[in-house]
Amino acid sequence: MGFWLAKFIFLGPLLRFFWRPWIEGRENVPDDRPAILASNHLSFCDSFFMPLLMPRKVTFLAKSEYFTTPGIKGWFSRQFFSGVGQVPIDRNDKDAARAALTTGVRVLAEGKLLGIYPEGTRSPDGRLYRGKTGVARMALEAGAVVIPVTMVNTEVIQPPGRLVPRLRPRPGVRVGKPLDFSRYEGMSGDRFVERSMTDEIMYELMQLSGQEYVDQYAASVKKSQGSDTGFGARERDAREVGARDPRAVRELGDRVPGTRAS
């Protein structure tokens, strides 16, 4: 109930009035079957605009800090994310992470939409980073399709450190065609298969968004850069952070017979 109240009564109308968000490819979201919405992650406001524009409720695996931060800000964050049915995931606790993945599979088993950011954290500089294989594990265990989704302009209207988003440019969402991994049925837990699937998903996100791809985890880049995580960091020598030719990304999908990278 909290999700629908926020979407249609309280928050949704304000977001639509002031920011006028747009969506392309909405017809690619299935009407009544489970699916994973795998999205790039550019800004905090991604988790507001993306579910706002979807025809069905989206449940996210949200970082645990949204539920445990102290103070008034933490209270509002906890009330909001709990009220709209988001699932906390502790990225530092392997057992808790496994529990969150199990919860994600349960959400999919109920025929729902599950939103996830394969990069695991916001991009530090607007580029697309290496995906974590949890998205592949959930897709295999639940037998769900994966739908690539990209956010557009959100890093401009609300870059890291900005509390209130700018009104322009208009934020948008692009939805790609579903990726069917049923050919790998029964292969959950195979690290090679799960990595190949994840790389295929990230390739689709790269094609859909036009972002430069970096073959390194975003969290590692943030850690190595320290406080230098602004969008000016994209001007670094790409070789220092592992940027690679998009064609090499596509070749990853050919390592396992039958993998598609369209």
HEC profile of 97-128: HHHHHHHHHHHHHCCCEEEECCCCCCCCCCCE
CATH number of 2-252: 3.40.1130.10
73-122 tens-digit pLDDT: 667 766 666 655 677 765 555 666 677 788 889 889 999 999 999 998 89
The DSSP symbol for 57 reads -
pLDDT band at 153, cuts 50/70/90? very high
Burial (CB count <10 Å: 0-12, 13-18, 19+), residue 64? middle
Q: Is the pLDDT of residue 66 over 80?
A: no
Q: Report d(CA 121, CA 64) in Å as an integer.
A: 12
Task: Tell me which residue of 177, 119, 115, 109 sits closest to 144, measured CA to CA.
Answer: 109
Q: Is the pLDDT of residue 138 over 90?
A: yes
Residue ranges covered by each domain of the chain = 2-252
Coil/strand/helix, residue 60: strand
Helix segments in the chain, DSSP class H: 2-5, 11-19, 46-53, 65-68, 71-83, 94-109, 134-142, 154-157, 191-209, 218-225, 246-252
**Which residues face 243 on adjacent strands?**
214
Q: Is the pLDDT of residue 9 over 80?
A: no
Q: Is the pLDDT of residue 131 over 50?
A: yes
Q: Is the pLDDT of residue 201 over 50?
A: yes
- CA atoms within 13 A of residue 155's CA, in its CB half-sphere: 19
Return the pLDDT at 146.
97
Q: Report d(CA 45, CA 41) in Å as an integer.
A: 9
Higher pLDDT, 177 or 97: 177
Coil/strand/helix, residue 173: strand
Higher pLDDT, 211 or 99: 211
Q: Degrees (nearest 5) of the Cα angle 182, 185, 186?
A: 170
Q: Is the pLDDT of residue 261 over 50?
A: no
pTM of the model: 0.77
Q: Is the pLDDT of residue 170 over 80?
A: yes
Please give the average per-residue pLDDT across 195-217, as a whole number: 95
Return the pLDDT at 5.
60
Q: Report d(CA 172, CA 218) in Å as an integer.
A: 22
Task: Tell me which residue of 147, 137, 134 sits closest to 201, measured CA to CA.
Answer: 147
- CA atoms within 13 A of residue 189's CA, in its CB half-sphere: 1
28-47 tens-digit pLDDT: 999 889 999 999 999 988 98
Return the pLDDT at 227.
44
